[in-house]
Structure 1
Amino acid sequence: MADELTGKVIVLTGGADGIGRECALAYGREGATVAIVDRDLDAAQRTAAELGGGSIALGADVSDGEAVRSTIAAVVSQFGRIDAVHNNAGIASPSKPLHETTEQEWDDLQRTNVKSVYWTTRFAFEALVASQGCILNTASMVGLIGQTDHAAYVASKGAMISLTKAMAADYARHPIRVNAICPAGVWTPMLERWCAEQPEPDSIRRYLDEIHPLGYCPRGDVIADAAVFLLSAKARFMTGCILPVSGGAELGYRR
């Protein structure tokens, strides 16, 4: 694809590193202006500088409603429009079954991974109606098929998947398209941290290659390519789609 997103203004949360950074770079290559929203403002600024073309970085914690409100207002003030919101920010810790998860850990994870979608949608909605834009949520295959010792994270991604479908049904009348993308394993700083929390990190790295029938755990560029498609006019008749980009990890029993 070339210039699939020319002239579009995209708000991308969690765009400083990992999957978000790869998406930001891909959106820039396709002609978009990207507003990168991240708690790590320095890293977000470095990514925005790589994009050039008017893309900007804004420091904000997406679990804070007032921070999201002011961030969205700043984007509209600067660019006069928003064509897409990509809800990509998220945290993955703790790696525990539910009964071992503290209330604070549960609340932090749900607020960052799920309530952030509420905040961005609430405050960007009028701009998206005006542009007949779209929303993309970075979910996860674990929200569809589950995962051991990761209950709070799995719950948050399952909620995001259900929320995507409800939002797609509600907002089609405007028309705003709402879709989700579901990676399995993807090598990012967050996944590296998760691996380090496991009892045998080296065996977990082998496991992450082996769960993908295509033979390897990918980098974020494979997710970014699919994200470009879902935000482009080539996906203009797709809404409520929960798209696996998983190397076939969900395909069942394998040797």
Structure 2
Amino acid sequence: MILQGKVIMISGGASGIGQACALAYAQEGAIVVIIDKDTTALHTMQALLPGPHSLLQADVAKGAEVEQAMKTILQNHGRLDAIHNNAGVAQPSKPLHETTEEEWELVMQVNVKSIYHTTRYGIAALRDSRGCILNTSSLVGEIGQDNHAAYAGSKGAVNALTKAMALDYASWGIRVNAVAPAGVWTPMLRQWSTEQPNTAQIEQYLDQIHALGYCPGTAEIADVCSFLLSEKARFITGCIMPVSGGAELGYKHLA
């Protein structure tokens, strides 16, 4: 078990990629602390992650709530070995000029400023443990995506932050990396695909953009995240790790 004894905090860990990561970390021997604002999803996770794991209701876009969550983690577990900044929003599906100020602010608060909050209030504990930080980014932070300007921009910021933070904290023995999927079959993506005019064509497209020929589930992402948080990745920092089946080699288009 490559994460044996580590205390790992993951934001947005009650559903989707975050849920798969939380379960994988626990399976690898970690004590997992999920921070999520979705109380219904947290309730579901309680049955999947009983003690010694912890589930905290908090909005990572709000600094005071993150500060309190970090205090609770240290009170309950005595240490913190890793922060996985996974919480994120992908909306709106619009070009930049159609994006409202409220939509822009929400994307940046959740996808970018939350990393500021968890780092500000968690860095002292990570310095004590010589721990690590993992950010959930996206391939679109590198290659762009039509009709998702705010989202792509936020993930580009996540990538830049990852590299800058890796340099800032290397002298403390803290590694900082990011994982960058392309498409991933989460409940959110399944729902989105059913709302498209040609559902079958959308599913085929999502398979074909990946050079390996299929759109992955969350387990493929969780496996790589477990590795990056483990000592097996002890000499990796500042890496934006694509877990994309080769999609960065060129998106394919349906004929």
Aligned to 2:180: 182
3-state DSSP class of the match of 1:180? strand
Aligned to 1:153: 151
Aligned to 2:14: 16
| Aligned equivalents of 2:251, 2:196: Cα separation in 1 | 23
Aligned to 2:171: 173
Question: Residue 210 of structure 2 contacts residue 251 of structure 2 at CA under 8 Å; is this kept in 1?
Answer: no
| Aligned equivalents of 1:238, 1:209: Cα separation in 2 | 30
| Aligned equivalents of 1:69, 1:202: Cα separation in 2 | 45
| Aligned equivalents of 1:99, 1:199: Cα separation in 2 | 25
| Aligned equivalents of 1:39, 1:147: Cα separation in 2 | 27
- Please report how far the alpha carbon of residue 72 of structure 1 lies from its aligned counterpart in structure 2 after TM superposition: 0.9
Aligned to 1:135: 133
| Aligned equivalents of 1:241, 1:148: Cα separation in 2 | 25
Taking structure 1 as the reference length, what is the TM-score of the superposition? 0.95
Unmatched 5+ stretches in structure 1: none
Taking structure 2 as the reference length, what is the TM-score of the superposition? 0.95
Aligned to 2:38: 40
Question: Residue 94 of structure 2 contacts residue 149 of structure 2 at CA under 8 Å; is this kept in 1?
Answer: yes
3-state DSSP class of the match of 1:204? helix
Question: Residue 18 of structure 1 contacts residue 190 of structure 1 at CA under 8 Å; is this kept in 2?
Answer: yes
Q: What is the correspondence of 1:49-60 to structure 2 with a 5 Å cutoff? A: 49-60=47-58
Aligned to 1:69: 67
| Aligned equivalents of 2:93, 2:101: Cα separation in 1 | 14
- Please report how far the alpha carbon of residue 195 of structure 1 lies from its aligned counterpart in structure 2 after TM superposition: 3.4
What CA RMSD, in Å, does the superposition of the two structures yield over aligned residues? 1.5
| Aligned equivalents of 1:200, 1:156: Cα separation in 2 | 29
| Aligned equivalents of 1:115, 1:7: Cα separation in 2 | 29
- Please report how far the alpha carbon of residue 51 of structure 1 lies from its aligned counterpart in structure 2 after TM superposition: 2.8
Give the length in aligned residue pairs: 253
Q: 1:149 to 1:98 in 2, by over 3 A?
A: same
C-alpha distance after superposition, 1:79-124 (max 9, x if no partner): 0100000000001111010011101000001100000000000000
